[in-house]
Structures are given as structure tokens and as C-alpha cells.
Structure 1
């Protein structure tokens, strides 16, 4: 399971978001460094498709997809040079696969610092970029010495030099125009800014919908294809503790169509390049996680290694088509099920039944 890191300045709302997503009870305080170690939990990824499939088959059990979430202690300006235990916190970011920037947009006299999310983002990016620059300069020196005896390191050195030039300009790797081939070579360097990112703007409870103009500014700064969401994380945390009926009433009263937590979990899941296929029946409807671009054998192995080892074929139907037909047996009778082989690239939303023999 891949891991998502919640990254922000001190008291931006990271622990509040972590608790709401994972159902945990991590300390939330208004003073910096209330926590000095990252904590890791699992967050459910809500999926209306699974809910509908389970309702269709009257499934006794539902299993949603999950992602790992790490609450990383707050950074401060100067973290890249060790300020505020920065070296330790930056090391914790190296261990995650994607980053959620938690950006403060609420005023609180008890909290020191700027409540401008764009300013927060600039500070965070600068610290991660400077840390990467220092890391690459050290790596380059070692690789150049090693390359005197090993010419196979030439491609890595060239990629590192390109990355160094980008970082020296103050640009993180994820906002650079480096090609996919260069990024692939850089993968093993574990750079902080060579990760998928999205941003959550933490608003006050008076304005839980956020400011679309502010979202647009942050999105423009992060670059093309960026995902930026606004939420009052304090309010979302309170909603998460309510039972479904009470939550529905509160959402209606606040004119909120859908909890922001659901949207954040889904956006984070996709930022990690995760996709979902389903198995469904009266006993269980299950959302299975796979990496985008995986074939049928790989997805069979997600369920159980025996299914991959003895794979014969997959019976496949898209979830909407299954709902329209009304049941698996009706879909088979109507010729709606496709028979796919090992090389079939599974699509997000496919419902599978694996035929195998071990």
C-alpha cells in the first residue's frame, strides 16, 4: 500500500486532517511541534460505485479501498538547513509516495504565522526544493567519482545535472519540464519534489466552501493538472465523528452536498496513480486497488497469488453496465460479459471474475 504524506507549516491543520481521514486521535495543539514524529494510519476511500454494486447484490459485507496516510510534523522556514528539527521532518517526507500540502487560510490569534495559503505553499516548496538541491549536489559528487570506473552511470549523472539546474532556479521537480525518461532515472534518488502532489486549503468554519479565486491562484502556482480542494478541516473532523443520520442532517443544514473528506481521499488515491476494480456478490462486494495500466494477471494477483499463477481468463463488465443489466447471471445470459486474456489492461470501474486453475 502506497503512502501519502500530509505536509504543512506548524499548526496548518495536518493532524486534524489526519484524524478525520483515519479515525485516529493524534494530538492537535496550537503550539508548534506538538508532535515530533510522523504517525501512520489507513484512510478509507469512499466509493459510490461499490455502494451501488453492494445494493444490487444485497451483499452482506463491503470492503472499500484504503490508502496509508502519514501525519508529518510541521515544517518551518529554514527546515532545509535543520531549523525546527527540519532534517528529521524532511527525512520523513522522503518515505512517502505522494504529498498533500495542507495550507492554512484561517485566522487564529493563538497561532503564530501567516494565514495566506499561497505564502504557505511558497515557503514549503522552497524548503523542499533547497533540501533536494543539497541532496543532489552530494549525490552528483559521489556519482562522478564512481563514473571514472563505471561508464554506465553517465545517464544518471546527466539526469541529476538537469535536475540540479531546475532546483537551483527554485523550481521543484514536479513543476519542471523534465521528460518522463529523466524523471524515471531520478526515481531512485528519492527526491522530495519528485512526487505527486495535491493541496488542501484549510478554511474557517464560517466559510467551509472556501474561496474559488484563492483555489485558482494556488492551482495556477502548482501548475497544470494540479488538484486543489478547500475544506474547514475542523468542521470535517466534527462531521466524521457523527453517525450517518446526524452527519446527513448537518451537511444539509450547512448546504454541503458531500463531505470534503470524501473528495480529499479520492483525489489523494488518484494522485498516487491508484485505480479500482470490483468483485461483487451476495457474500461480499470488494473494491480492489491496482496501479493504472496493470493487466488482468497483475490484478488477479491483487486478489490472491493463486489467481495470477493459474490465470485462465477474466470475465469483465463495466460497473455501470452491470447495474443496467441487473445481475451477473443476466449479464452472462445477455452476452454482456467479455472474456479477456492475460494482457487485457484493466480499466478503472471494471467488475471482474477470474477463472483460474492451480
Structure 2
């Protein structure tokens, strides 16, 4: 077992794919450069990045990754090694609460690249699937773990991608909708249907903690926890929302 070798193989595959994409992009830019100075500058920048990748580096670690040219090039190429990375380590039960030598080495590698390592035990995750919430939480506490590996992956994945969820709660179902952080109420409504954004009037909003503390929508309203928000409202993670619209 050599987790670092596994990581190296995957990262090299990403780098090779990115170099191929950049090579094709550079060829097109050089053709355009005959009549466009900006293309000539971008071609030179892309070549510099390609050389950086050829040395075995990830695009996300490029020294000029905070430049406007880098952002523009990424929007055109969508390089795989430029994306955020999390490492998942499948470990035995004992290693969930204390790192074994393989996890330690993986953490050292991840730290060099500004990445996170999430530990999970596939056997435990399988057992958790069939449990009720209370039983599941007690099981995790007994193991000295606050949340499952799968929950960590979802939570940290959402965080790295700048995503969050809000809820709609009807008589027949409760549904979560995924949006980007700092999304306004009309834009959040558009995730359900474009007409909701076009005819947006107001949003009825109950904060998640209030909803849970009060025991549902009806009691939240009785407690005065429901509020009306307009077009400028920035949706908070976990909000329970109903949209008023007219088209």
C-alpha cells in the first residue's frame, strides 16, 4: 500500500491532460497572434504555464494563479489540475480517531498543496446507511467521531465550491436546492423555475435554526420567526423559503 503513489498517478494523469489542452490552445493563440497582440501575450503566458505543468506541478499552484490572465485562460481551458482538491483516505476503524503512518504521509503531501485530507472507513459508512438518525449519532459518538466521512466530504466539498442549500417545505415533500453562496432571493428562486425569478415579489423566510427549534413551519410562524424578504436579500445556508411571484 502506497497512498502517495496513488496520488502521484492521478495527479500526473490530470497534468498530462492539461498539457494537451494547453498545447492545442497555444497553437490557436499563435495563429491569432498574427493579427492580435493580446493573443500573442496570452500564448506566451500559456507556454509559461505549460512549462510549469511539465515539471510535475499542478496548475492551481502556478505562481501567477492570482492574475487576470490566469483567470481568463482558466475560463477558456477549464484545466483539471487547477481545480480544488480533497484527498479521501479509506482507513480501518482504529485510524478514524488517530492517524496511521499512511494518513500522516498523505497529510504532509496535502499540506504542501494547500489541500485537506478526509478520513473515512468504508465498513463503518456501510453500517451507517441502515441506521436511524438517533442510533447513527450515538454510534458515531461511541467511536469518538462527530460526523461520518461521507458527511465531511459533502460539507467540505460544498465549502470549497462555494455552494450551499436552501429548502422548500410543502405538505408532500421537503426539498433542498443547491445555490452558490451570496445568491439573492430571486436568483435562488430561479433554480426552481425561471418564472419564479421573473415574477418575484417577496420571499417568506424561516431560518433553519428557528425552524428546528420551533418544530416546523406552523409553529415558527406562531413564534413570529417567519419574515418577508425582498429582491436584495442574500439567502442564508439552510433557509426555509416560500416564494411569492406573479407572471
Q: Same fold (TM over 0.5)?
A: yes
Cα distance in 2 for residues equivalent to 1:272 and 1:175: 17
Q: Aligned residue for 1:259?
A: 148
Q: Which has the higher strand share?
A: 1
**TM-score if structure 1 supplies the norm length?**
0.57
Alignment of 1:231 onto 2:117: no
Q: CA RMSD in A?
A: 3.2
Per-residue CA deviation, residues 279-308 of structure 1 (Å, 9 max, x unaligned), is 225433221111223221121011222212
Change (3 A) 1:180 1:276: farther
Output the TM-score relative to the length of structure 2: 0.79
Is the contact made by 1:147 and 1:154 (CA closer than 8 Å) also made in structure 2?
yes
Segments of structure 1 that go 5 or more residues without pairing to the other structure are: 1-114
Deviation at 1:229, TM superposition (A): 0.6
Determine if contact 1:277/1:350 at 8 Å carries over to the other structure. Answer: yes
- Unmatched 5+ stretches in structure 2: none
In the other structure, the counterpart of 2:163 is 274
SS in 2 for 1:303: coil
Query: Is the aligned partner of 1:192 residue 2:80?
Result: yes
Evaluate the alpha carbon distance shift between residue 126 and residue 215 of structure 1 in structure 2; reply closer, same or farther with a 3 A threshold. closer
Structure 2 Cα separation of the partners of residues 215 and 268 of structure 1: 18
> After superposition, what is the alpha-carbon deviation per residue over 1:320-355, rounded to whole angstroms, capped at 9, x for unaligned?
133345554555566544433323322222222211
Q: Is residue 147 of structure 1 aligned with residue 33 of structure 2?
A: yes
Q: What is the deviation of 1:250?
A: 6.2
Which has more helix, going by share of residues?
Answer: 2
Count of aligned positions: 241
Whole-Å Cα distance in 2 between the matches of residues 138 and 292 of structure 1? 34
Higher RCO (CA 8 Å, separation ≥ 6 residues): 1
Q: Secondary structure at the match of 1:352?
A: strand
